[in-house]
Amino acid sequence: MSKLPNIGTTIFTTMSKLAADSGAINLSQGFPNFPVDPKLISILKEQVDENVHQYMPMAGSPSLLTQVSALIEKNYTRKVSPSEELLITAGATQAIFTTILALVNKGDEVIILDPSYDCYEPAIILAGGIPIRISLNEDFLPNWDVIEKSVNQSTRMIITNNPHNPSGRVWAASDMEKLETLVKKNDRLLVLSDEVYEFISFESKHLSAHESSVLRDRSVVVSSFGKTFHITGWKIGYAVAPESLMEEIKKVHQFNVFSVNSVAQAALAKYLEHTDVTELGAFYKEKRDLFRNLMRSSRFKLLPCEGTYFQTVDYSAISQLDDVEFCKQLTTEYGVAAIPISVFNADGDDRKIIRFCFAKDEQTLIQATERLCKI
Ligand code: PMP
Ligand code: GLN
């Protein structure tokens, strides 16, 4: 019997394949199509000639752990012990999976907020937990009344994602306060804070669980170098948690991957010594603004985008097809691939909203929007 009877192939695999098969411009799966910083490439080449080809220590290369701890201190004024509170992972996906496997017991309830990133629910099920899926409001911000009412003695964890994929929304200070209150009121409750887009927010800086003294003691914060340095294929990220939680996470990690790719760790440790991540928001803001301006004359309705590299649009003025079918049509007939939002909702709730990735060079964005404006 399947352990995941209701899970098929991910929408990212499906849409990227359809885009490739139909020769469409791929604005579906989230990955940049422009070159990586040449400095990172030259450091990587240098590191290949060094003695960095054997197993790294289980939790990560000491120099990378030190650099990540410095990055967190610089950006959030939180001091993290590199040896006790940090773990280098094979992308945020593994950090999330390993955290859930380590901290969720059979029968524990885990709250996820829909539309939710697709790797959360399967990990909860495989851990023997019970996913409790709660819809975000229509504006994709949390409905705290419903969330509060859903927490009970069995609730072990709430998974938050801010800045939010797929909507591009960023939480307000009042949302963080509500989360703090929830954690204070419920002794057993942990937060898995998925902050892979932590450095990609536009009008205002996103608020991190790192910055809250209440949240940081009860949270596992997860991030991804894939997003921060345009290297999604490297599959490298990290988790930050108080020592007592991290001890449990490391117990699983050591048998899940043991340790992460050594060359990538060595290169990132060197690169982080000279890199400023605070420019990333401005870099992507330019792309967001270009994409939104180019889309103005289309019949798609642009929804707010405050962070991430995703723009959601409402297509109900164009078609009444469900969003999965509409994305297929968009790809095969109009030559632009997108992601339907319904696949991230419980029961595939369809609101005629799709997601475009604007982490692309200018030429690609111009070409794609020319096609989209003709529909
Ligand atoms: N969480 C969210 C919200 C994501 O969008 C992604 C993928 N981009 C991940 C986790 C996984 O990140 P990674 O590619 O580092 O595994
Ligand atoms: N996170 C990426 C997105 O939202 C996809 C990553 C993947 O394909 N697993 O598009």
Q: What is the pLDDT of residues 87-111, one digit of tens each?
A: 999 999 999 999 999 999 999 999 9
Point out the ligand nearest to the CA of residue 223: 1
Residue 202 has pLDDT above 90, yes or no: yes
Q: State pLDDT tens for residues 304-356.
A: 999 999 999 999 999 999 999 999 999 999 999 999 999 999 989 999 999 99
The residue contributing the CA closest to ligand 1 atom 12 is: 92
pLDDT bucket at 42, cuts 50 / 70 / 90: very high
pLDDT bucket at 172, cuts 50 / 70 / 90: very high
pLDDT bucket at 46, cuts 50 / 70 / 90: very high
pLDDT attached to residue 174: 98
Q: State pLDDT tens for residues 261-312.
A: 999 999 999 999 989 999 999 999 999 999 999 999 999 999 999 999 999 9
Point out the ligand nearest to the CA of residue 88: 1
Q: Report which ligand 2 atom has the smallest distance to the Cα of 117.
A: 4
Q: Where in the chain is the domain with CATH 3.90.1150.10?
A: 11-30+278-372
pLDDT attached to residue 235: 98
pLDDT bucket at 231, cuts 50 / 70 / 90: very high
Q: State pLDDT tens for residues 126-150.
A: 999 999 999 999 999 999 999 999 9
Residues 264 and 281 sit within 8 Å (Cβ to Cβ): no
pLDDT attached to residue 166: 98
In three-state secondary structure terms, 222 is strand
- How far apart are the C-alpha atoms of 143 and 146, rounded to whole Å? 6
**CB of 226 sitting under 6 A from ligand 1:** yes
**Domain 38-271: top CATH class:** alpha beta
Q: Is 335 exposed, middle or buried (0-12, 13-18, 19+ CB in 10 A)?
A: middle
- The residue whose CB lies within 8 Å of the most ligand 2 atoms, and thus the one to mutate among 194, 232, 236, 327, is 232
Residue 15 has pLDDT above 90, yes or no: yes
**CB of 168 sitting under 6 A from ligand 1:** no
The residue contributing the CA closest to ligand 1 atom 14 is: 91
Point out the ligand nearest to the CA of residue 264: 1
Q: Let me know the angle formed at the C-alpha of 311 by 41 and 375, rounded to the nearest 5 degrees.
A: 115
pLDDT attached to residue 347: 86
**CB of 92 sitting under 6 A from ligand 1:** yes
Please give the CATH topology (third level) of the domain spanning 11-30+278-372.
Answer: Aspartate Aminotransferase, domain 1 (3.90.1150)
- How far apart are the C-alpha atoms of 152 and 186, rounded to whole Å? 8
Q: Where in the chain is the domain with CATH 3.40.640.10?
A: 38-271
51 alpha carbon to ligand 1 midpoint, in Å? 30
Q: State pLDDT tens for residues 74-88.
A: 999 999 999 999 999
Q: Which two tokens stand for residue 319?
A: 């078609």
- Helix residue ranges, H only, the chain: 11-22, 38-48, 62-76, 91-103, 120-126, 144-150, 173-185, 213-216, 225-228, 243-256, 262-273, 280-295, 323-334, 362-373
**CB of 29 sitting under 6 A from ligand 1:** no
pLDDT attached to residue 59: 98
